[in-house]
Amino acid sequence: MELLRNHRTRRAATAGVTLLLAGVLGTAGATASNARTAAPQTQQIASSVLGSDYKITLTALRSTQDEYAASVRLQVYTHDSGKWKESDRVTVGEVDGWFWYPLTGSHAVCEFSTASTEPAPLAVSLMITPSIGCSQPAHYVVKQGRVYAG
């Protein structure tokens, strides 16, 4: 009879610890999820400075809805009063239309070409997945600090 009581006590203790652990992990997961929602994870994947006129960057933004999806932001900066100030930004492709891991990997940028002319032509091709390969180049023109489809 004593053996049966000890077994029940152990089972109850194990169940209690399991519930406690599930609650702690659930709270940690919810906190991490809320942190991701508050500020998307970003990673700069390319940058180019065109003389003293323009600085152009490509940044991957991880989706807050799908951990595997990402968007790509192209930003143009102009040099003003000794500082780079953003003058325009566009999304390359569709919002959340890229995959986060290939986009932030070592061969993410297939083509990123710019020229120091006015207007400045710009071409961007990015890794879709290693098995699919690179996207078709997206063409833009930077004119007076603004981005236009090319």
Span 112-143, pLDDT tens digits: 999 988 899 999 999 999 999 999 999 999 99
**pLDDT average, residue stretch 21-50:** 65
**pLDDT average, residue stretch 11-29:** 42
- pLDDT computed for residue 68 by the predictor: 97
- pLDDT computed for residue 143 by the predictor: 94
- By the 8 A CB rule, do 119 and 146 touch? no
- By the 8 A CB rule, do 39 and 63 touch? no
Which CA distances in Å does 103 have to 5, 42, 43?
58, 11, 9
| Res 6 pLDDT > 70 | no
- By the 8 A CB rule, do 60 and 45 touch? yes
Name the token pair of 49.
Answer: 């400075």
pTM of the model: 0.72
Q: Tell me the three state secondary structure of residue 47.
A: strand
